[in-house]
Amino acid sequence: MKNKTAAAAGAALILTAGCNGAPETEMGDNPFFTGSTLPYGLPHFDLIEDGHYRAAFERGMAEQIEEIEAIASSREPATFENTLVPIERSGRLLDRVARVFFSLSSADTNDAINAIRAEMAPKLAAHSDRILLNADLFIRVETLHESRNDLDLSPEEVRLVEQYRRDFTRAGALLSESEKERMREINAELASLSAAFSENTLDEVNASAVVVDSADELAGLSEGEIAAAAEAAKARDLEGKYVIALLNTSGQPALSSLEDRALRERIMKTSLARGSRGGEHDNREAVVRIAALRAERAALLGYPHHAAYILEEQTAQTIEAVDGRLSGLTPRAVANARREAEDLAELARSEGADLEIAAWDWSYYTEKLRAERFSFDASELRPYFEMDGVLVNGVFFAATQLFGLTFEERPELPVYHPDVRVWEVFEEDGAPLGLFLGDFYARPSKRGGAWMNAYVSQSGLLGTQPVVANHLNVPKPPEGEPTLLTFDEVITLFHEFGHALHGLFSNVRYPYFAGTSVPRDFVEYPSQVNEMWATWPEVLRNYAVHHETGEPIPGDLLDRVLSARTFNQGFATTEYLAATLLDLAWHQLGVGETPDADGVLAFEEAALEEAGIAFAPVPPRYRTTYFSHIWSSGYSAGYYSYIWSEVLDADSVEWFRENDGLSRENGDHFRETLLSKGGSIEAMDLFRTFRGRDPEVEPLLRRRGLN
């Protein structure tokens, strides 16, 4: 299930483990038991304590099982109204606590939350199995499925019947009792392993921060970046030193500026070694066990491997379709990356550095080459990208022009961290639409990357309106300093708000289909389309102004930035495809084919070689041992979805350009045909209705300079 049990069991896939429990509070004080009294059902972050979660989870699971048993044991003939509607209504308490808990376990975790995650992961997996492997409940769903075309059901209701039947069979409803028992064991162990992987990854990225003794070694960084490194060291009781914190990706931002090659090498090698160095944070055992269990589960269900099991529910549908798309991109990307490496090496030689370009050199010389070719470097842009200006005068402005939305900040509403902000979102006629939370700064308690989540999903059945949140990891400047974004961070801000719009515009009856409840290889598509407005002239002129003088970004600088859009795309595409192909290699393994822990890195090396994408100066964006997307965040056999969605995105951007771009008419068309439908209609049918035809790949090739 994608909601209720999936809000818990599905979210259990992103748990992390811990060791310290949280004290229980009095049952009557638990804010989850009665739900929220705040606008739109915003969680009572001002009342929620760590000690509330365990009791709310336990009661929430018990309540939902009681509700499910009542449905399954009914003597009345199965109907849509007495079977699927009450399933959709079930588990409200569990849904409330799961949404908050799993959101905070990613955005603001601590030892108590980690301990609860470790404890709840197998329990939630077992809870989901109690529902999806309930034989009596499945009989009722199967009965509805067999007669669905003879019933007086709406198209959304027919689809709901079909999706539930598929969920039950994919969970193992047709297995023998002994096979079901093995399935329960597999799911429980997978939940615990994913939790352990996630905690190891977060703990090690914090523990692996690089300590620098002297400011002289930081030559190339700005004064603000050096001050932030000193603050980070002070926070770790390393007064007088400097700390370069790591992000979750292989590459690290400081590598583009640091002049000290030895320090660049130390940072890069530290980053690439995460999860594979032995000790408490080593993830190799977890990786091979997860891969083996996923292969076994797929075999139990009749699939050759985990990738086949996953892709069946995606728009791609088969591994052959994905391989076909990637095989056309990989050689072009690698060829471009090799040409780029030659250009970087030539630049280095011109400066008297006789070296082979290594992974730790790439970003440094890329910025130099960018400055030489296009007469600017990335640091020139940042004064024009002050975060509040980008958000209000860029992201929100574009949403107003396209969709008529307005935004009112609500500082009186409670939040879970002082950095979080809340806006109420209104339709053009003033009708309330929902709440938007922004959590933009990095911190040690927050996992890396950027993402969107929904604290409340829209549903006509439940009468709920959306509460959605965006999370980024922008380094927080010293007190009193402005937050100046990189160009990539600007694009990320627009991207994540595209997900938020997908959630805010949801207009479905059943919670199952709400918001971003679409296939994994489709969910990134609307958010990627929203990136286009970051460089749309009317939008960019409105937000890209100097944070001190108010002067607009110079036209010639902007022209040079836009002309450089295909620059370094060989690198960007290659590092992404390398991670994608690693994901698919691990998840095409059958039963008995996974290596042991000592063979993880050798398997990775062989997989990259076989795929034709092994190129040492461009390591995968994520290596196996810190690839949280595929081991603990729901993207297993699905990391390809970013490039798959980008085909749809690039084609859709062409449609907007062909139809006069930033207009209410275009925004309304996109909203009505696609953004508002959630998962209530098959994903590619949504695209065809919006675009008027099947997607074409050529716009993507042009965008990435691969044509």
Active site residues: 496
Whole-angstrom CA distances from 376 to 258, 541, 555 are 17, 19, 13
Closest by Cα among 110, 15, 101, 93 to 58: 93
Closest by Cα among 398, 485, 495, 393 to 441: 485
Cβ burial 61-90 (10 Å sphere, 16+ → b, else e): bebbbebbeebbebeeebebeebbbebbbb
- The Cα–Cα gap between 255 and 258 comes to 6
Q: At what angle do helices 569-587 and 284-300 cross, to 10 degrees?
A: 60
Closest by Cα among 99, 93, 105, 100 to 632: 105
Sign of the C-alpha dihedral computed for residues 378, 383, 384 and 388 taken in this order: positive
Q: Which two tokens stand for residue 404?
A: 């008529």
Is residue 629 within 8 Å of residue 635, measured between CB atoms?
yes
CA 592 to chain CA mean position, Å: 31
Residues 6+ apart with CB under 8 A from 121: 12, 15, 17, 191, 192, 194, 195
315-323 contacts, C-beta under 8 A, 24 or more apart: 315/519, 315/521, 315/522, 315/644, 315/683, 315/684, 316/521, 316/640, 316/644, 319/584, 319/588, 322/584, 322/640, 322/644, 323/584
Closest by Cα among 686, 291, 339 to 518: 686
Q: What are phi and psi of 212, to 5 degrees?
A: -120, 135
List beta partners, residue 409: 423
Residues 6+ apart with CB under 8 A from 262: none
Q: Which two tokens stand for residue 617?
A: 């100066």
**How would you list the strands of the sheet with 421-426, edge to edge?**
406-409, 421-426, 432-441, 467-474, 451-456
CA 86 to chain CA mean position, Å: 30
For 506-535, the three-class secondary structure string (H helix, E strand, C coil) is CCCCCHHHCCCCCCHHHHHHHHHHHHHHHC
Whole-angstrom CA distances from 513 to 6, 42, 129, 392, 638 are 12, 20, 21, 30, 20
- The Cα–Cα gap between 689 and 691 comes to 6
Helix (H) or strand (E) holding 471: strand 467-474
Q: What is the CA radius of gyration of the chain?
A: 25
CA 309 to chain CA mean position, Å: 21
Question: Pairing state of beta strands 467-474 and 432-441?
Answer: parallel
Q: Which two tokens stand for residue 367?
A: 């910025």
Question: Pairing state of beta strands 421-426 and 432-441?
Answer: antiparallel
Closest by Cα among 73, 204, 185, 207 to 126: 185
Length of the chain: 707
Residue carrying the six token digits 């990786």: 287
Q: What are phi and psi of 244, to 5 degrees?
A: -100, 105
